[in-house]
Structure 1
């Protein structure tokens, strides 16, 4: 199964984002540094409920099952930030299990229904 998620984190920038205005250089990082295969950060800034957060799209292939594990009341310091969208998702794959924090499931598609 192919699973497509959005993962969120706090924005680490101190600048303000004005509505309708783009923040950042007018040229792409590849053009600026004149490098074709420059790896850029995959996080983008988005506004959610009046707050600027960072979001990235993540996809996983060959997922067997997706679930939301129960919260462990004894260990409240670890895990999701309650101020961010999403929750921890558990992805079970043939080779093991992966946990993705502050994630929102966008789509899960079975390649062989």
Structure 2
């Protein structure tokens, strides 16, 4: 990535965790999705690039919602799945399949 001056990358967190921000000076935007991100990964990248954490069930797509990590002062304290991407809807449900109230884990 450094040799080819890549500026934008979409990677699974399980791969991105092995990369070193200092070795990729041309990288400006990092989008991770496909598996759960970690606080370690958030801390590693949030101040180096515009970092976005994506979330989406496999049945839908790689990412249905997105969280702009670098723009959130709570980054590192939590890992959010963010808000729905354009033309998507996200519903949080409880263990019984009922809609969960805003702010309640589903």
TM-score where L is the length of structure 1:
0.21
Rg larger for: 1
How high is the TM-score relative to the length of structure 2?
0.22
Q: Which has the higher contact order (CA 8 A, sep 6+)?
A: 1
Structure with greater proportional strand content = 1
